[in-house]
Amino acid sequence: MAKINIKIEGISYEVEEGLTILEAAKTCGYEIPSLCAFNHGECNQGSCRVCLVEATGARGLVASCVYPVADGMEIKISSPAAIEARRDSVELLLSNHNKNCQQCDKNGQCELLYVANLTGARDDAFAGGHSEVHIDRLAPSLTRDTSKCILCGRCIERCKNAHGLGILGYENRGFETFVSPASDRSFADSPCIQCGQCVNVCPTGALMENSEIWKIDEAMKAGKTVVVQAAPAVRAALGEEFGYPIGTPVTGKMVAALRRLGFYRVYDVNFGADLTIMEEGTELLGRLNNGGVLPMITSCSPGWINYAEYNYSDLLPHLSSCKSPHEMQGAIIKSYWAEQHDIKPEDIFVVSVMPCVAKKFEKDREQLKVNGLNDVDAVITTRELARMIRRSGIRFDKLPDEDWDQDIMGDYSGAGVIFGVTGGVMEAALRTVYHVLTGEEKEEITFTEVRGHDAGIREAFIDINGTVVNVAIASGMKSAKILLDEIREGSSRYQFIEIMGCPGGCINGGGQPYVRPQLLPHEDDDILDTYKEKRAQALYTEDERQVIRQSHNNPQIKELYEKFLGEPNSHKAHELLHTTYAAREGFNSIE
C-alpha cells in the first residue's frame, strides 16, 4: 500500500493511502471520539457526527469515520470548533435518549455514555420533544427499546454481514425514524433467528437479551431443586467481565461462583456434548451405511435451526435429529438423575448458562418437551451470570478454583470442550467416528483440518482406514447459505456438515461479553481481529489438558448407556435425546 504524508495537530506523519481520517489518526496515536471506529465500521455512515474534525480541502467539519486522508492533508482534532461540534452532536443524541442509566443492563458498557464523558456533553442541553417509543419484549431471546436507540445502524449491518439477512431496518423518516423488523413487527413474529449478534454490536441498551435471572430467583424462593449447567464457551469469556484478559479460561472460579450462588448441583455441559457425539456419530454412521439422507448437518446451534426452519424447510431431513447438548443433559437430569436422587422431575429446575441468546428460544420449543416438561427451565447468558455474581457481592478474582460436581455427570472429554468453537463439533465427532470405523484410537487425536475461528467455509476430506468422509464447516448464515444452496441444487459433495449460527461459533455468541476496545485499554489495538482466536485457544488448551479426549471414552457416558439408555440411538435415547423440526413463518405486527 502506498504511503502519503499528513499532519495532525501540526505534527507530520506518514500513513497508508486509503485510510479514513479516523483510522489514520489511530495509527498515529490519536483516539478521535466516535461511535463506529471500534466496530470495524459496521455503522460507517457518518450519520452520528460524533467524530467531526477539521481537515484542509474540506468544506467545514467532516466525519472522520468516512472521510479519506489525502496527501498533504492537515487535520485538527482539538480545535475549538471541532471540540464544540462533537459535544453538540452527542448532546443532540442525548436529547432524544432515555437516560435511565441506573436501570440499563448496558451500564458500564454503554458507548454513548463513554463518548458523552469524553466530549463533556451536558444533560438537557437541547430541550424538545421525544420521538415515539417502540418496545418489543415478546421474543424469548431479545428485547428492543427504541427510546435508547441512536439510529447508528450497527445492528442492521451486522445482520447483513453475519447472516445475509435484513431483519432490521429503518422505518419512517426524519424525527419519526426508528429501527425495527419490517412494519414494526416483533422479533417473535419475524424470521429473526434470535442469534443476538445485533445485541453484541448495539452501542446502547436499545437491543438486549431477554433476562431470565428472575426465573431463577423465583425457583429458589419456591424451594425447587435448582441445578445449573454451563456451556464450554462460557469459561473462555466470563473472566472478561471481571477484568481478565480476553482468552483467559476461568473454569474453576466459575464453578466456585455458581456454587456460592446457591445452586444445588453445578455441572458442565461438556458431559452433554459427549452424549451428543455418541448420538450424532451413531446417526451419521447409520445414514452412511443404510442409504440415509446425506449430507447430515449438525443441530447444536438454535440460531441455525431457526434459519433452516424459516428459509430451507425443504432441507430439514438433512438435519441431525439430536437435541443440542444442554437440552440432552437437561433431559437426563429430569429422568435418570432424578431417579438416582429420588426427586420428582417437576420439582427440578434446570438452568443453563450459555454464550447464546437463541438458547432462550430453544428451551421453549414444544418438540423438545418430555412428558410435558421442558428439559431446561431457564437460560442465562455469560453476561447475565456476571450480573448475578456482582449483585451477590462475590469477589470473582478472590475465588478458589473448584471442580464440577462429580455424581453421574462429572466427567467430560476434551472433545466436549471444543464444542464451543466453530469446527469443534466436527472434530469431536471425527474422533469418535474414527474409533467406530477402525476399532482403534487415532494416534494423533486432533483434526486440525477442520479448525479455524473465522466465519466462512472450510472443507476437509478425511481418509479413515480407506473410508473417505467429506466434511464442511460453516459459521454465520451468510456462509451456510452457500452450502445449503449446493444441497438444494444436488451438487453437494459432502457427507457431514457442521453449521454454527454465530460467526466463529459459540465463543462469539450473542450472550458473550461485549468487545469494546475503547473500554479495554489493556488489550492490543487489533483485539477486534483476535478476540475470537483468543477465546478459541482457551478451549483448545483445556482440551489438550484433558486425560480423556474422545467422547466414547468418557466413563460416565459409558455407565449412562449401560445402566439407563442401552445404546446410542436406542428407543429410550430417541425419546429423551432426539427431536423434530418444522417449517415456520412469522409475519405479524406488534399491536
Average pLDDT estimate for 437-454: 78
Model pTM?
0.94
Q: Does position 514 have pLDDT exceeding 70, yes or no?
A: yes
Q: What pLDDT is recorded for position 178?
A: 94
Q: What pLDDT is recorded for position 185?
A: 93
Q: Tell me the per-residue pLDDT of 178-190, one tens digit each, with 9 for 90 and over.
A: 999 999 999 999 9
Q: Work out whether strand 265-268 and strand 225-230 pair parallel, antiparallel, or are unpaired.
A: parallel
Q: Does position 93 have pLDDT exceeding 50, yes or no?
A: yes
Q: Tell me the per-residue pLDDT of 280-310, one tens digit each, with 9 for 90 and over.
A: 999 999 999 999 999 999 999 999 999 999 9
Domain contains 100: no
DSSP conformation class of 121: P
Residues 541 and 484 in one domain: yes
Q: What pLDDT is recorded for position 41?
A: 55
Q: Of residues 33 and 521, which shows the higher confidence score?
A: 33
* Mean predicted lDDT score pLDDT of the chain: 92
The pLDDT confidence band at residue 100, using thresholds 50, 70 and 90, is confident
Residues 155 and 244 in one domain: no
* C-alpha of 141 from chain center: 12
Range of the domain at 230: 214-577
Residues 349 and 392 in one domain: yes
Q: What pLDDT is recorded for position 553?
A: 86
Q: Does position 586 have pLDDT exceeding 80, yes or no?
A: no
Domain contains 111: no
Residues 91 and 39 in one domain: yes
Q: Does position 403 have pLDDT exceeding 80, yes or no?
A: yes
Query: Where a domain ends, among 177, 209, 241?
Result: 209
Query: Where a domain ends, among 209, 236, 269?
Result: 209
Q: At what angle do helices 477-489 and 154-163 cross, to 10 degrees?
A: 40
Average pLDDT estimate for 266-290: 94
Angle (CA) 101-122-113 rounded to 5° is 35
Residues 425 and 570 in one domain: yes
**Could you write out the DSSP letters of every residue in 375-392?**
S-SEEEEHHHHHHHHHHT
236 within 8 A of 249, measured Cβ to Cβ: yes
CA gyration radius, the chain = 25
Q: Does position 589 have pLDDT exceeding 50, yes or no?
A: no
Q: What pLDDT is recorded for position 552?
A: 86
Average pLDDT estimate for 505-519: 91
Domain contains 327: yes
Domain total of the chain: 3
Write the CATH number for 31. 3.10.20.740
**Percent of the chain, pLDDT > 70?**
97
Q: Does position 439 have pLDDT exceeding 60, yes or no?
A: yes
Residues 86 and 226 in one domain: no
Q: Does position 200 have pLDDT exceeding 60, yes or no?
A: yes
**Could you write out the DSSP letters of every residue in 23-92?**
HHHHHTT-----SSGGGTTTTTT--S-TTEEEETTSSS-EETTTPBP-TT-EEESSSHHHHHHHHHHHHH
Average pLDDT estimate for 74-78: 96
Q: What pLDDT is recorded for position 37?
A: 57
Domain contains 403: yes
Average pLDDT estimate for 193-212: 95
Write the CATH number for 167. 3.30.70.20
Q: What pLDDT is recorded for position 199?
A: 96
Q: Does position 39 have pLDDT exceeding 80, yes or no?
A: no
Q: What pLDDT is recorded for position 587?
A: 44
| Weakest mean pLDDT among 46-50, 250-254, 535-539 | 46-50
Residues 187 and 293 in one domain: no
Q: Tell me the per-residue pLDDT of 456-497, one tens digit each, with 9 for 90 and over.
A: 799 999 888 788 889 999 999 999 999 999 999 999 999 999
Sign of CA dihedral 388, 394, 395, 401: negative
Residue 135: enclosing H or E segment and its boundaries? strand 135-136
Q: Does position 68 have pLDDT exceeding 90, yes or no?
A: yes
C-alpha distances in Å from residue 544, one per residue of 149, 414, 445: 44, 7, 10
Residues 51 and 68 in one domain: yes
Distance CA 29, CA 40 (A): 18
Domain contains 514: yes
